[in-house]
Amino acid sequence: MLLEVGRIVKPHGIRGEVIVDLVTNRPERLEAGSLLSSDAGDLEVLRSSPHQHRWIVAFAGVTDRNSAEELRGTVLWAEPLEGEDDALWVHELIGARVYDVDGLFYGMVREVEANPASDLLVLPQGLVPLTFVVEHGDRRVVIDPPEGLIEPRPPIEVVDYDPEWPARFEDEAERLRAALGDVAARIEHVGSTSVPGLAAKPVIDIQLSVASLEPMGPYQEPLQRLKYEWLPDPDTADHRIFVFPRGGGTRQVNLHVCEVGSEWERRHLAFRERLRGERAVREQYADLKRGLALEYGNDVESYADAKGDFIRSHQ
């Protein structure tokens, strides 16, 4: 069995060297003479050196910038080393839900930051060293942090409808249109705050439709300038999630980027119209959300999952 051990990020200089992002805490993977597998064939390491939490690597046969450019984005694989069977792999941690030993929710892992003492889980409200991970598996991580290191997520709050929500959407939509220009094929107010009279979490949901999700640059770069943050999630291949503001402050906007004409776009607009048009469905949904908020406490991801059957049955 081969394990994913890293990825070639980009060329470095003109002599064929590349920048490699390791997803393992075993730097010996990049020792001279190491052989790594890839879709481009086997790659033998000639030399390597650490560089800003990544590595500068020279591979045999890659002698100029053009050949290095051809390796951009290449995933690197290798046979397990002794003691790696239980290793925490970065690609498995990204997007995992984090709880403490008492079951309180801390958010989803946004990235893993390299650190000499211990790599760090990057969560919405702070950093947790991997040394405090006591259990992991099935997209779930359990931590036992010392008191005061990091706070769990606040309790889920479902409030009565606020007539100011449409104006908050319009203000943000104007910012998005100005920044994105023709990249924004459609900007819609979705989610519970888009339905008059419906109780909701006081966070505005916006659906941004674009011609294509890939490449991300045409929409990601303008959104970053607006202080949005992308939340990578391996389970959301049909859309991309951005939040505002970035940095873990009180969330004001969830931005869902999807493709024009996609099933994701259709379903969310259909559910909005169903809620707007049928009072009985709207009241059932409000009751469900208030009950789930009490049941799940601060676990907003499980709260969202638990609404899934109701949403799918009314789209």
H or E element at residue 210: strand 204-210
Q: What is the pLDDT of residue 94?
A: 82
Cα–Cα distance, 113 to 95 (Å, whole number): 14
Provide the pLDDT for residue 116: 64
State how beta strands 253-259 and 204-210 pair.
parallel
Tokens (6 digits) for 30: 């990049």
**Tokens standing for residue 56:** 């500068």
Q: Could you give the 3-state DSSP secondary structure of residue 73? A: coil
Comparing CA positions, the residue from 151, 130, 136 lying closest to residue 97 is 136
Query: Which structure tokens are listed for 307?
Result: 């609404």
Backbone angles phi, psi at 246, to 5 degrees: -75, 165
List domains and CATH numbers for the chain: 3-78 (2.40.30.60), 90-143 (2.30.30.240), 165-313 (3.30.460.10)
Which pLDDT value is given to residue 91? 66
Under 8 Å between Cβ of 238 and 263: yes
Identify the pLDDT of residue 86: 54
C-alpha–C-alpha distance, residues 300 and 151, integer Å: 15
Q: What is the CA radius of gyration of the chain?
A: 22
The answer, as to whether pTM is greater than 0.85, is: no
Please name every residue paired with 47 in a beta bridge, in sequence order, or none if there are none: 58
- In terms of Cα–Cα distance, which of 73, 74, 97 is closest to 233? 97
| Listed residue (52, 51, 253) closest to 168, CA to CA | 253
Asked, as a colleague might, if the bond just before 215 is cis with ω within 30 of 0, I would say yes
Q: Counting every residue, how long is the chain?
A: 315
> What's the confidence (pLDDT) of residue 89?
66
* pLDDT value, residue 83: 61
Of residues 98, 3, 14, the one with CA closest to residue 300 = 98
The predicted structure's pLDDT at residue 134: 87
pLDDT reported for residue 17? 96
- What pLDDT is attached to residue 2? 74
Alpha-carbon torsion (19, 223, 258, 191), positive or negative: positive
Per-residue pLDDT tens digits of the chain, which is 315 residues long: 677 788 899 999 999 999 998 877 678 899 999 999 998 899 999 999 998 778 999 999 999 999 999 999 898 988 887 765 555 666 678 888 999 999 999 988 888 887 766 778 988 888 998 889 888 887 889 999 998 999 998 899 999 999 999 999 999 999 999 999 999 999 999 999 999 999 999 999 999 999 999 999 999 999 999 999 998 876 677 899 999 998 767 889 999 999 999 999 999 999 999 999 999 999 999 999 999 999 999 998 899 999 999 999 998
Q: What is the pLDDT, as a whole number, of residue 1?
A: 64
- C-alpha to C-alpha distances, 81 to 1, 36, 39, nearest whole angstrom: 11, 13, 21
Measured CA distances, 247 to 41, 224, 228, 253, 299 (Å): 39, 12, 9, 13, 19
